[in-house]
Amino acid sequence: MHSRRSKSLSTGQAAREVALGALGFLAADPERIGPFLAESGLSPADLRGIAGSTAFHVALLDFLINRQDLLIAYAGEAGIDPGHVVAAREILAHDGTNGD
């Protein structure tokens, strides 16, 4: 069981960590990753090439945010507040020149 993270989401790196955690969460279950791949038009092989892209991170977090059940499940598994996912998305969307 994870403890609540006290790390602030004030940095792009922390926001990327949230996005990569979300990718791992989705990838762990075909029923979670399948709809994301279908919606994005990506294949599993594509993920390796774009997993570090800020635009991909924003799209991934948008997918979670738009599916409250997945958002709550990911936040619970990661031990973070669901609002941190939203904050991470905003940081990454405004930090698009870093991390690509």
80 belongs to a structural domain: yes
- What pLDDT digit, counting tens, does each position of 13-50 carry? 999 999 999 999 999 999 999 999 999 999 988 988 89
The answer to whether 58 and 89 have CB atoms below 8 angstroms apart is yes
- What pLDDT digit, counting tens, does each position of 74-89 carry? 999 999 999 999 999 9
HSE-CB at 33 with a 13 A cutoff on CA atoms is 15
Q: Measuring CA to CA, how many Å separate 23 from each of 58, 87?
A: 11, 16
6 belongs to a structural domain: no
The predicted structure's pLDDT at residue 51:
85
Question: Which of these, 39, 1, 36, lies nearest to 22 by C-alpha position?
Answer: 36
Range of the domain at 18: 12-93
Number of compact structural domains in the chain: 1
The predicted structure's pLDDT at residue 49:
87
The predicted structure's pLDDT at residue 95:
77
99 belongs to a structural domain: no
77 belongs to a structural domain: yes
The answer to whether 15 and 91 have CB atoms below 8 angstroms apart is yes
pLDDT of 5 over the 90 cut: no
1 belongs to a structural domain: no
